[in-house]
A and B are shown apart, each in its own frame.
Chain A
Amino acid sequence: MHPNDGRATAATARPILALHGISKAFGAVQALRDVSLELWAGEVVALLGDNGAGKSTLVKILAGVYSPDAGAIEINGQPVSITSPADSRRHGLAIIYQDLALCENLDVVANLFLGRAEGRLLLAEESMERQSWALLRSLSAKIPSVRTPVASLSGGQRQTVAIARSLLGDPPIFVLDEPTAALGGAQTAEVLKMIRQLRDRGHGVIVITHNLADVRAVADRAVVLFLGRNNGIFDVREVPPETIVAAITGLNGHAKGQPAEASAGASTP
């Protein structure tokens, strides 16, 4: 049964991303078992779970690094198969890994346009710099100069550059892997603000995190994995944090149940 069957009454009322019954095994280890997840446009979903819960495996399936053994992925209601990172990008998924994949020796402009630099024969530096400013301005990003090498930026500014870079292709779906893990307070706030802006522009955002404070700050819903299974989907504004912690640690007794029932009022935009 698809959790969104009840919702898909009108063509517009479809999640932009839906995973149904995803399973993945590595040898004898069942990393993911029958995991489902929905992401609607204009919402932030936190993907939570302890180490080994299967978060990274799920992200890598979305990124096209791994192929699921079973299950279906739907984008805007259309079943798709994601077998390579290029597939993933083509289907409108922007995956931002923890290591950000920036070239520290290059400046901000070059990093924003890494792999898609403009200009036919020669690089169109002025056009790219101009667009870089417009992009960073639209994110209210605080970067003093786009002509300094990325090595000189703070962790939060680098995260900003990585997010801004994936925005250039205007993908509908963002998947951020631990975006605040290495950041201090002010920088975390800056990144969370950015995530809210992505949501307000109508993007769907999946944030993988350990940090419950971040979840409460930006997420609409929290999807919890425990030992490779769904272990509850919560409306962050209505459920007390203890409940979410219990789900993460497997103390809520759902762990053996099938895809945990979506808690009442899972928000839709």
Chain B
Amino acid sequence: MKAPTRPSPLEALDTTDERLVLRRGALGSLANALARIRSGDIGTLPIIVGIVLVWALFGILNPVFVSSTNLGNLLVQSASEGIIALGIVLVLLVGEIDLSVGSMAGVGSSILGVGFVVHGWPLSATVAVVLAAGAVVGLAYGLVFIHFQVPSFVITMAGLLALLGLQLVLVGQTGSINIPFSSSIVRFMEKDVLPHLVSYVAAAAIAAGYAGVSWARARRRARAALSSRSVASILVPSVALLAGLEFACWYVNRAGGVSDAFVVFAALVAVMDFLLRRTHWGRAVYAVGGSREAARRAGINVTAVYLSVFLLCAMFASLGGMFLAGWLGASSTEAGTGNVNLDAIAAAVIGGTSLFGGRGSAYSALLGVAVIQSIANGLDLLNLSSAQQFMITGGVLLIAVIVDSISQRARRAHGRA
């Protein structure tokens, strides 16, 4: 075995097979990326192209869309829906679904209204109660799913109705509980933004963090005599990330600024991405999504994996419900109904998480919700009714599924299915 020194790139353990086509350097990376796209491993490319197209289209139709103010609003609007979609990503990864996230969000919003406003509980206690309610519902789904082997879409559809009823009971006759405009939760959703300086520092910290993590990983791989990324191929994307984030912050800071609610959402996405990719739990989630039977035989605690994802999904939904209440300034019987449910599922799928389990990432919640909310926001600006919004969003979802299907066919043709 080699001594643990940095090996010359050509003798790394994982690049010795003579059939591997090796491309090195910046041009090589580009060639690799193109080859991957051709073979259907398109990753986040279609969604990014989609966002660019949507923004360009709405920007042309109504320049207000790309204004600092509106893009800042878009960030706030994305937060609640995005947090709900993040939970959906988790259940989709194990090949299941939770159709009741909208109602769960509604219940979360109602508990907030009843506890925080009507009974005057402290906010922290209310938040704890709401999250606990989500946890109870999620655990119940998981237990029923495991013990009775009922398909999750049926369980959660039953849950949808039951939670809808609970929401009506909680909010009561009035149909709406107004949350005082001066309360911290409404201010958090509607007013609180990162101080400009903090936003620039945070953007720099994210880029530095990306570079640092990549570099540490390259070091570990080099020490293990495995091929690793060159310094240049870490620096280029890091600098691009830095420039992109700083520009985005500057652009949004010209008006309102970067909403705290969005920052919470983005942080949750980053945390979930880390947990999914780097921990035993995350590996188990992907394994169960790939083949439940294989995971079970390998000794993975499949029961615990299912319980954890149903639990987290319902908790994210209840958290999203509180965000929703804060943003609307009220807990109403309407909260979480209508398109919240389907938008969250559509966002996860549009963002690139497979409906069939085992494929996807936490970032698909972020990207998918960006598309969904951009369309909703853009159509609002064009004064289109919700009827047209529904139809257009439906069309986009269909396109996303078709793109996924085509890329899957390409993956299969290239042996990457």
Q: Which residues of A contact B (CB under 8 A)?
A: 85-86, 99-106, 110, 114-117, 119, 121-123, 126-127, 129-130, 133, 142-149, 151-153
> B17 near A102 (CB under 8 angstroms)?
no
B406 within 8 A of A: no
Task: Report the nearest A residue to B93, measured CB to CB.
Answer: A105
Task: Report the nearest A residue to B277, measured CB to CB.
Answer: A123
Task: Report the nearest A residue to B18, measured CB to CB.
Answer: A144
Nearest Cβ in chain B — how far from A129, in angstroms?
Answer: 6
- Within B160-196, the residues touching A (CB, 8 Å) are none
Pick the 9 closest A-B CB pairs, nearest first: A115-B298, A103-B290, A105-B358, A105-B290, A115-B299, A101-B294, A126-B224, A114-B298, A152-B415
- Within B92-131, the residues touching A (CB, 8 Å) are none
With A110-B287, A127-B224 as known contacts, state yes or no: A115 contacts B300, CB within 8 Å. yes
> A123 near B283 (CB under 8 angstroms)?
yes
> B280 near A103 (CB under 8 angstroms)?
no
> B290 near A145 (CB under 8 angstroms)?
no
Return chain B residues, CB-CB under 8 Å to A115.
Answer: 287, 295, 298-300
Chain A interface SS verdict (over half) = loop
Nearest Cβ in chain A — how far from B227, in angstroms?
Answer: 10
Q: Can you report 24 A-B residue pairs in the complex whose CB atoms are below 8 A from each other?
A: A101-B298, A102-B291, A102-B294, A103-B287, A103-B294, A103-B358, A105-B286, A106-B283, A106-B358, A110-B287, A114-B295, A115-B295, A117-B280, A121-B279, A123-B283, A126-B220, A126-B221, A130-B13, A142-B17, A143-B17, A151-B411, A151-B415, A152-B414, A152-B416
Q: In whole angstroms, what is the CA distance A153 to B17 when docked?
A: 15
Interface residues on B, range: 35 or more
> B299 near A144 (CB under 8 angstroms)?
no
> B294 near A145 (CB under 8 angstroms)?
no
Binary A-proximity of B374-417 (CB < 8 A = 1, otherwise 0): 00000000000000000000000000000000000001001111
Return chain B residues, CB-CB under 8 Å to A121.
Answer: 279
Return chain B residues, CB-CB under 8 Å to A123.
Answer: 278-280, 283
Return chain A residues, CB-CB under 8 Å to B297.
Answer: 85, 101
Q: In whole angstroms, what is the CA distance A36 to B415 when docked?
A: 44
> B416 near A101 (CB under 8 angstroms)?
no
Nearest Cβ in chain A — how far from B182, in angstroms?
Answer: 42
> A129 near B295 (CB under 8 angstroms)?
no
Task: Report the nearest B residue to A153, measured CB to CB.
Answer: B415
With A146-B14, A152-B415 as known contacts, state yes or no: A103 contacts B291, CB within 8 Å. yes
Return chain A residues, CB-CB under 8 Å to B414.
Answer: 152
Q: In whole angstroms, what is the CA distance A115 to B280 when docked?
A: 9
Q: In whole angstroms, what is the CA distance A199 to B414 when docked?
A: 35
Return chain B residues, CB-CB under 8 Å to A145.
Answer: 14, 17, 20
B147 within 8 A of A: no
B229 within 8 A of A: no
B6 within 8 A of A: no
Task: Report the nearest B residue to A154, measured CB to CB.
Answer: B415
With A144-B19, A144-B20 as known contacts, state yes or no: A119 contacts B280, CB within 8 Å. yes
Q: In whole angstroms, what is the CA distance A110 to B293 when docked?
A: 16
> A122 near B278 (CB under 8 angstroms)?
yes
Return chain B residues, CB-CB under 8 Å to A146.
Answer: 14
**Residue from B14, B299, B358, B411 having most chain A Cβ neighbours under 10 A:** B14
Q: In whole angstroms, what is the CA distance A99 to B357 when docked?
A: 19
Q: In whole angstroms, what is the CA distance A115 to B290 when docked?
A: 13
- Within B179-235, the residues touching A (CB, 8 Å) are 220-221, 223-226
Return chain B residues, CB-CB under 8 Å to A122.
Answer: 278-279
Q: In whole angstroms, what is the CA distance A103 to B19 when docked?
A: 24
Set B14, B291, B299: member contacting A133, Cβ < 8 A: B14
Q: In whole angstroms, what is the CA distance A115 to B297 when docked?
A: 9
> B289 near A129 (CB under 8 angstroms)?
no
Binary A-proximity of B1-38 (CB < 8 A = 1, otherwise 0): 00000000000011001011000000000000000000
